[in-house]
Amino acid sequence: MRQFAGTDVSGLTRFAKQTHPLYAGIIGLIAIELTVVAMLVVSYSYLMLTAPEWPPAGLAPAPLLWPSVNLGLLLTSMVTMRWAGNRITAGDRRGLILGLLASVSLHALVLVFRALEMAAYEFRWDDHAYGSLMWTISGFHFTHVASAIVGTLVVAILAVKGYFTPERQLGVVVDTLYWNFVSAAWIPFYLALYWGPRLI
């Protein structure tokens, strides 16, 4: 049986990011996902600006309450993730765990509120272009929030097991980068979907 040689990364720290394939991989993933975010916002904006009526007749612009609450929760979760990373840099494993779990709890609330919002939509995904984009963008972001929760729970489990130290925390750094991207991605979606129809 053929054996594959691995790369010894035991000596790398969060401060050797540029040489680590994991760091390069997450930057590449974020670049690809950022392109998808831009394409969705541009598609929505183009249809909004060219349609004779947006949203379609009989529909009011989507309510602002839950999307605004979610924006606040997502931005707050970026702060708790930053705090978690600072805690492990200071050698505070308990603080890291608490910060990760607080962040996961905030994202879990986002999923609950997003699900309630989507359940209240007065249209199906295949009723019109507006409905299609609302469901696609909401579902796209919902899925990414869920994936960020799963990844961060894995990091939290490793933290409980004592895997991360001030010298070995690249996993926390990479998870935080993805977390912040997912949280910040809601800003252009929020502005386009909920404020765009009110401002045109």
pLDDT of residue 11: 59
105 to 22, 73, 175, 196: CA distances (angstroms): 26, 10, 16, 30
In a domain, 75, yes or no: yes
* 32: its two tokens: 């690809």
Domain-located, residue 102: yes
Q: What is the pLDDT of residue 25?
A: 87
DSSP designation for 61: P
Look at residue 5 and tell me if it is in a domain.
Answer: no
Q: Is residue 166 part of a domain?
A: yes
Domain that holds residue 123: 16-199
Question: Residue 171 in contact with residue 194, Cβ under 8 Å?
Answer: no
Q: Taking the model in full, what pTM does it have?
A: 0.87
In a domain, 11, yes or no: no
* Residue 104, domain member (yes or no): yes
Q: What pLDDT does 142 receive?
A: 97
If one counts the domains in the chain, the total is: 1
Residue whose pair of structure tokens reads 């831009």 in the numeric block = 38
Q: Write out the chain's pLDDT in tens, 200 residues.
A: 445 455 565 655 554 555 567 788 888 999 999 999 999 999 999 999 999 999 998 899 999 999 999 999 999 999 999 999 999 999 999 999 999 999 999 999 999 999 999 999 999 999 999 999 999 999 999 999 999 999 999 999 999 999 998 888 889 999 999 999 999 999 999 999 999 999 98
In a domain, 3, yes or no: no
Q: Is 135 exposed, middle or buried (0-12, 13-18, 19+ CB in 10 A)?
A: middle
What is residue 19's predicted lDDT score, i.e. its pLDDT? 55
Rounded-to-integer distance, Cα 131 and Cα 56, Å: 9
- In angstroms, the CA 176 to CA 14 distance is 12
> How far is the first Cα of the chain from the last one, in angstroms, to the nearest whole number?
64
Distance, CA of 34 to CA of 200 (rounded, Å) = 25
**CATH assignment of the domain containing 150:** 1.20.120.80
* 137: in domain: yes
